[in-house]
A and B are shown apart, each in its own frame.
Chain A
Amino acid sequence: MAFIEIQGAKKQYGEGEAAIYALNGIDFSLEKGKVCVILGPSGSGKSTLLNMIGGLDSLDSGSIRVDGEQVTGLTKKELTAYRKKNIGFVFQFYNLIPDLTVEENVQVVAEIAANPLDTEEILKALDIEKYRYRFPRELSGGQQQRVAIARAMVKNPKLLLCDELTGALDTKSSRSVLRFVEKVNREYGTTTVIITHNEAIADLADTVVRIKDGSVASVKDNESRRSADEIEL
Chain B
Amino acid sequence: MKLNRRYRRNIRSNIPFYASVTVLTMLTLLMFYLFYVAGTGIRAYGEDFFDTYRCEDATFSVYSEIPEGAVAELERKYSLTLEKEHTASADEGSYHMRVFTPNHKVDLYEIQDGHDLVDGGEILISAGYAEEHKIGEGDTIRLKGRDYKVAGTFLRPDYLYLVENVSDDYKNVSDFFLAYLTPAEFERVFGAGTINYKVIYSDQSDEKEFRQEVNETYYVSGYLNADNNKRITFVYEQADMFLMSSWIELVVFPLLTVALVCILLGRRIRAEQKLIGTLSALGYEQGKLMRHYSLFAVIPGLVGGTLTAVASLALAKPFGAIGLADYEPMKPEFRLPIWVALAGIIIPTAIYYVASMLRVRALLQADTVALLAGAVGNDGKSRRILAKKKLPVKRKLAVRQLIGNPGRSIVIFFGICLGAMLVAFAFSFLDSVEAVGEKAHDEFGSFSYEYILGTLRQGEVTDGETVLAMQYEDTKSRRFSILGMDADSRLWNLTTTSGDRADLDSGFYISTLCEAIFDVHEGDTFTFRNIATLEEHKVTIRGVIKNGYESYLVASKELVAELSGLPVDCYNAVLSKTALPDMEAEATEMITDSTYRTQMENMKESMAGVIDALMVIGVIVCVAALYATINTLISENAYTISMLKVLGMENGRINSMMISSNHLLLIPGIVAGIAAAYGIMAWYCAEFVEVENIMIPATLKPISIVLTALFTVVAYVISLLLVRGRVNRADMVDALKDGRE
Contact = CB atoms under 8 A, between A and B. Distances in A.
Interface of A: 51, 54, 56-57, 76-77, 80-85, 87, 89, 91, 93-101, 104, 107-109, 111-112, 133, 135-137, 144, 151, 155, 163
A56 B647 CA distance: 10
A80 B651 contact: yes
Interface string B699-740: 000000000000000000000000000001000110110011
Given A80-B650, A80-B651, A133-B387, A93 B645 contact: no
Nearest to A139: B741
Interface string B626-654: 00000000000000100111111111010
A120 to B, nearest CB: 12
B93 interface: no
A85 B733 CA distance: 19
Nearest to B648: A84
B400 A99 contact: yes
B289 interface: no
B400 A93 contact: no
Interface stretch (B348-356, B391-399, B531-539): B391-399
B380 interface: yes
Given A56-B733, A87-B648, A133-B387, A96 B392 contact: no
B8 interface: no
Nearest to B657: A108
Contacts of A155: 648
Contact of A96 (B375, B651, B736, B741): B741
A189 to B, nearest CB: 20
Contacts of B397: 99-100, 104, 108
Contacts of B392: 111
Interface string B365-401: 0000000000100101001100110001110110011
A111 B393 CA distance: 8
B650 A57 contact: no
Given A97-B640, A100-B396, 10 more contacts: A56-B736, A57-B732, A84-B649, A93-B736, A99-B401, A99-B640, A100-B393, A101-B387, A108-B393, A109-B647
21 contacts: A56-B736, A81-B650, A82-B648, A83-B646, A83-B647, A84-B647, A84-B648, A84-B650, A85-B648, A93-B736, A93-B739, A93-B740, A93-B741, A97-B640, A98-B741, A99-B401, A108-B644, A108-B647, A109-B647, A135-B380, A137-B380
A136 B741 contact: yes
A87 B647 CA distance: 8
Pairs A-B, 4 closest by C-beta atoms: A84-B648, A83-B648, A95-B739, A93-B740
B697 interface: no
A85 to B, nearest CB: 7
A56 to B, nearest CB: 5
Nearest to B385: A99
A94 B740 CA distance: 7
B254 interface: no
B394 A91 contact: no
A57 B646 CA distance: 10
Nearest to A86: B648
Contacts of A87: 648
A112 B648 contact: yes
Interface residues of B, number: 34
B646 A89 contact: yes
Contacts of A83: 646-648
Interface of B: 375, 378, 380, 383-384, 387-388, 392-394, 396-397, 400-401, 404, 640, 643-651, 653, 728, 732-733, 735-736, 739-741
B649 to A, nearest CB: 5
B387 A56 contact: no
A146 to B, nearest CB: 14
Name A's interface SS.
mixed
A101 B653 CA distance: 20
Contacts of B733: 51, 56-57
A109 B644 CA distance: 9
A89 to B, nearest CB: 6
A81 B401 CA distance: 26
Contact of A91 (B375, B396, B736): B736
Contact of A112 (B375, B401, B649): B649
A112 B736 contact: no
A105 to B, nearest CB: 8
Contacts of B646: 54, 56, 83, 89, 95
Contacts of B644: 97, 108
B732 A56 contact: yes
Nearest to A110: B393
Nearest to B728: A76
B404 A99 contact: yes
A88 B649 CA distance: 12
A126 to B, nearest CB: 17
Contacts of A89: 646-647
A130 B125 CA distance: 93
B461 to A, nearest CB: 81
A94 B645 contact: no
A99 B399 CA distance: 11
Which of B397, B647, B651, B733 gathers the greatest number of chain A CB atoms within 10 Å? Answer: B647
A76 B650 CA distance: 10
Given A95-B646, A100-B397, A104-B396, A135 B736 contact: no
Nearest to A135: B383
A27 B647 CA distance: 26
A19 B387 CA distance: 47
Contacts of B394: 108, 111
A141 to B, nearest CB: 9
Contacts of B643: 95, 97
Contacts of A54: 646
A204 B158 CA distance: 101
A112 B741 contact: no
Contacts of B387: 101, 104, 133
Nearest to A95: B739
Nearest to A104: B393
Contact of B388 (A56, A80, A133): A133
A112 to B, nearest CB: 5
A80 B739 contact: no
Given A111-B394, A135-B380, A80 B645 contact: yes
A104 B400 CA distance: 13
Nearest to A163: B736
Contacts of B648: 80-85, 87, 109, 112, 155
Contact of B741 (A57, A81, A85, A94): A94
Nearest to B737: A93
Contacts of B640: 97-99
Contacts of B736: 56, 91, 93, 95, 163
A162 to B, nearest CB: 13
B741 A137 contact: yes
A83 B654 CA distance: 15
A91 B737 CA distance: 10
B651 to A, nearest CB: 7
A144 B740 CA distance: 11
Contacts of B388: 133
B741 A144 contact: yes
B732 A112 contact: no
Contacts of A135: 380, 383-384
Contact of B735 (A82, A84, A95, A144): A95
B397 to A, nearest CB: 6
